[in-house]
Every structure is written in structure tokens, then in C-alpha cells.
């Protein structure tokens, strides 16, 4: 090994040691985090052993590991996982998330076909135990999860890592500036950064990835498929809710947006007294709160868990389940996608467009900058500068079936034109997939048994 290489290794060791020491010093705060979140979401009180990679069982056979931080990333990964489950039923899968809602979505999508655990904290000991226990032969990391000890640990054990559907906003790039010497070294260990766009690719290179590591493959979210049985779902919704009523949906809303949703619905109901609001808060701990807000505003409120379908006299119907949002998008004439009236960064704008529902959003879209730019340019998205602007757009679209139809056609065409990231991603990782293992057929049952 050359002196230059040794210096590089010592440099890596030094920055890793400082980073890991800092994590160990603040590790008591992880307990505070779990407890404080647990008072709002009870699931945070459970499965702490996984957060620290304390596994009692013996390691299983090697797996393909995918990490998706929460619901949005799990949904984005779904076409990739579904395709590989069909093509390679012999592969053992482990999917990690950080949030309980992400865990619930994994279970809802794949059940027992996939093992789920929480990703441990990025402490060297925890991450080493995780990797040695599950023995991944390939790691697929969704979007922007750049944990240094995770990436170095995979490198040290010879696990190829692909950052799939990779995105990096300007805000995230700025946020990494203090850790850039460490993150840059960690990034250079991955096999490939499969970026969503040229802008994302440029930012990953600015963070430290080598030019040849980064490829632009497009966004997996464009490969979204409409839910099975969608027509029957919409027909059942219409029959239960009274049919012919105007409907709008406020989806993935956050705490700071809830009062504005109530004000928007009150404004729109003044124009359409029979208007129904479908309301899907982003986080399950907000379900009861938005029910209370809607009831306090004077509307009859139904919920998916309790009534199953909106009643003809309901003014608000709260979608207090996970995994059904796309189907409910298809039941509305227009959709507002939240996380955009507060500086959250927005949420998936393609899902309503994929089922033919025009989309309105607020101005804070840094997590979906490329998608929102393309949708707005195509005429498939209207962006309000504030809550009043969102209300203007919703009212204009509810009043204009022709405009809604044009937006629906534009959104469908945009999605169709930009599909293909799934195929390109599958081609990219093909050489690092585990070798095929023949699955023995189940023993035949003897006659009369």
C-alpha cells in the first residue's frame, strides 16, 4: 500500500472515530427520542432491541436488504420489490425502515413474504451486529439515507451498495456541509448512485461521489401503478356517499396545515354546500385530532375505520388507515397534497395524477422540486403561493370540468412519458443480485391423508 493510500486510510479512520465518538456521547438522547415519540405513537415504545441491533435469534441465510426510511420511500420502492419478488422468489428479503408507519406499510404491502426490522442507530457496534446478523449480499438504499457507519460497514464486509432513486435537495446538501469530509468518503464506497435527475446527480457529486459512480436513471415514482380493483372501489364510494356530490381531498397534511384545511373547506362549502372533504393526515397520531377539528367546525364526520364509507350527510370523511390513499384520490374531483403549506418539502404529487385526479399544492416543494417543475410545465399541477392561493386553485378547478380534464390528460401523459426508471434500475443491479437458489417443491400429499 502506498504512503498516499495509508494517509487516506488514516484520514478515514480519524473522521470515523470522531463521528462515532460523537454518536456514542449523544446516544442517551436516542432513549429520550423513543420515549417522547412513544407518548404520541405507542409503537415507539416497542421493538427497542431492533433499534440497537440486539437480536436473539441465530442469523438466517443471506438476504437482499432494502432500506426505506418511511411510507413515501416504501411506496416508491414497491414496484422494484414487487418485480423482484415475481422474478426471483428464491431471494430472502429484509426491509428496514425508521418509522412505525413505514413498518406498517411494509407489512401491508408484502406481509410474511418480507422480513421487517427497524434500522439500528448508526453506532458502529449496532451497525456491525445488524450486518453480521442479516448477512446482506446486496444493499439497496432508497433516496437520501446516507449513514456513514452503515456505508463503511457494508464496504468492510464486501456488500455492494446502490443508492436507488437517489435524490438530494439543495437544503439537504447544505445540511451535510459539516459532515462533508466524512460523507464524501462514505459515498465513494458505494457501487452506484442511481439519481432521479441531473440536479440530484450534480449535488451527489458535490457531496463527494465520484463522477463515474453517479448515473441518472429517472424517478421510480413515475412507475407507480393504479391500485387493483380501483373502478369497483370508486363505484362503492359513490354509492355510499350519495353520488353526484363534489369531493375534494386533502392528503398528507401536517399539524401546521390543519387549521388551513378547515378554513379552505369552510370557504369551498360556501360555494358548494354539499361538498365532501376526504382528509388523510400524514401521521396516524393526527387522525383523532383532525376528526375533532372537523367536528368542532360543525360538520358531520365519518372515518374509514368506523363507518368504512362516507355517509350522504358527512361533511368530512377522515381516512384513518394506511395504504388506501391512491384509491381515495380517485374518488375526488381535485386533490390538495400537503406538506407544502409548511416548509416540510411536499409529498408525492404523482399518485393523484396516476389515478386521474388534478393536483393542487402549496409552495414548499424542495423534496419534489424536479417532479413539481415538470408537472407545472406540463399543465398537470397548480401551485398556490399560500393557503388563499391554494383555495383559489381548488375553487377554480371544482368550477371547471374542462380544466380538470385537461390536467388529468396532461398528468397521465407526463407519467407515461417518464416511465422506465424501474427497468433501468433492474438492469443496473442485475449483476449484483444473489445467485439463484432452486426452491424445492412442497412434498405431495398422500391420497387420503
Catalytic residues: 73
- Are residues 326 and 288 in contact, defined by beta-carbon separation less than 8 angstroms? no
HEC string of the chain? Answer: CCHHHHHHHHHHHHHHHHHHHHHHHHCHHHHHHHHHHHCCCHHHHCCHHHHCCCCCCCCCCCEEEEECCCHHHHHHHHHHHHHHHHHCCCCCEEEEECCHHHHHHHHHHHHHHCEEEECCCCCHHHHHHHHHHHCEEEEEEECCCCCHHHHHHHHHCCCCEEEEEECCCHHHHHHCHHHHHHHHHHHCCCCEEEECCHHHHHHHHHHCCCHHHEEECCCHHHHCCCCCCHHHHHHHHHHHHCCCCCEEEEEEECHHHHHHHHHHHHHHHHHCCCCEEEEEECCHHHHHHHHHHHHHCCCCEEECCCCCCCCCCCCEEECCCCCCHHHHHCCCCEEEECCCCCCCCCCCCHHHHHCCCCEEECCCCHHHHHHHHHHHHHCCEEECCCHHHHHHHHHHHHCCHHHHHHHHHHHHHHHHHHCCHHHHHHHHHHHHCCCCCCCCCCCCCCCCC
User: Can you name the residues that pair with 381 across neighbouring β-strands?
Assistant: 359
The C-alpha cell at 413 is 401523459
Q: Phi and psi at residue 332, in whole multiples of 5°? A: -105, 155
CA-to-CA separations, 51 to 30, 111, 145, in angstroms, rounded: 9, 21, 16
Give residues with Cβ within 8 angstroms of 224, minimum separation 6.
75, 79, 326, 350, 351, 354, 415
Question: Exposed, middle or buried: residue 228 (CB in 10 Å: 0-12, 13-18, 19+)?
Answer: exposed
CA-to-CA separations, 164 to 95, 220, 251, 304, 341, in angstroms, rounded: 14, 9, 26, 34, 28
Amino acid at each position: 500500500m502506498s504512503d498516499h493510500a495509508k494517509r487516506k486510510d488514516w484520514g478515514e479512520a480519524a473522521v470515523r472515530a470522531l463521528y462515532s465518538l460523537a454518536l456514542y456521547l449523544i446516544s442517551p438522547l436516542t432513549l429520550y427520542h423513543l420515549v417522547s415519540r412513544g407518548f404520541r405513537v405507542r409503537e415507539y415504545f416497542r421493538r427497542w432491541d431492533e433499534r440497537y441491533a440486539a437480536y436473539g435469534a441465530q442469523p438466517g441465510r443471506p438476504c437482499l436488504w432494502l432500506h426505506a426510511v418511511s411510507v413515501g420511500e416504501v411506496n416508491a420502492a414497491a414496484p422494484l420489490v414487487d418485480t423482484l419478488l415475481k422474478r426471483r422468489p428464491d431471494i430472502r428479503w429484509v426491509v428496514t425502515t425508521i418509522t412505525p408507519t413505514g413498518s406498517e406499510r411494509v407489512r401491508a404491502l408484502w406481509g410474511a413474504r418480507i422480513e421487517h426490522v427497524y434500522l439500528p442507530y448508526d453506532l458502529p457496534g449496532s451497525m456491525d451486529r445488524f450486518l453480521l446478523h442479516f448477512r446482506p449480499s446486496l444493499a439497496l438504499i432508497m433516496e437520501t439515507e446516507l449513514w456513514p457507519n452503515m456505508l463503511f460497514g457494508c464496504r468492510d464486509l464486501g456488500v455492494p451498495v446502490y443508492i436507488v432513486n437517489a435524490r438530494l435537495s439543495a437544503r439537504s446538501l447544505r445540511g451535510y456541509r459539516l459532515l462533508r469530509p466524512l460523507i464524501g468518503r462514505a459515498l465513494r464506497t458505494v457501487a452506484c448512485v442511481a439519481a432521479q435527475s441531473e440536479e440530484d446527480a450534480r449535488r451527489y457529486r458535490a457531496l463527494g461521489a465520484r463522477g463515474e459512480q453517479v448515473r441518472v436513471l429517472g424517478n421510480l415514482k413515475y412507475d407507480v401503478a393504479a391500485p387493483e380493483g380501483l373502478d369497483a372501489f370508486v363505484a362503492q364510494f359513490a354509492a355510499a356517499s350519495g353520488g353526484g356530490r363534489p369531493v375534494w381531498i386533502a392528503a398528507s397534511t401536517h399539524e401546521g396545515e390543519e387549521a388551513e384545511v378547515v378554513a379552505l373547506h369552510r370557504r369551498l362549502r360556501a360555494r358548494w354546500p354539499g361538498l365532501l372533504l376526504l382528509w388523510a393526515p400524514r401521521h396516524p397520531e393526527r387522525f383523532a385530532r383532525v376528526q375533532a377539528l372537523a367536528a368542532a367546525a360543525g360538520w358531520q364526520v365519518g372515518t374509514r375505520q368506523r363507518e368504512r364509507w362516507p355517509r350522504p350527510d358527512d361533511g368530512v370523511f377522515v381516512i384513518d388507515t394506511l395504504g388506501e390513499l391512491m384509491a381515495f384520490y380517485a374518488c375526488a374531483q381535485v386533490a390538495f397534497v400537503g406538506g407544502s403549506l409548511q416548509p416540510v418539502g411536499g409529498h408525492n404529487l404523482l399518485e393523484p395524477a396516476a389515478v386521474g385526479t388534478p393536483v393542487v399544492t402549496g409552495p414548499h416543494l424542495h423534496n419534489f422540486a424536479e417532479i413539481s417543475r415538470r408537472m407545472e410545465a406540463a399543465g398537470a399541477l397548480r401551485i398556490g403561493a399560500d393557503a388563499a392561493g391554494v383555495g383559489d386553485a381548488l375553487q377554480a378547478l371544482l368550477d371547471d370540468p374542462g380544466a380538470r380534464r385537461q390536467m388529468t390528460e396532461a398528468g397521465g401523459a407526463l407519467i407515461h412519458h417518464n416511465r422506465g426508471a424501474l427497468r433501468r434500475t433492474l438492469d443496473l443491479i442485475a449483476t449484483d443480485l444473489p445467485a439463484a437458489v432452486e426452491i424445492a417443491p412442497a412434498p405431495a400429499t398422500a391420497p387420503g391423508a
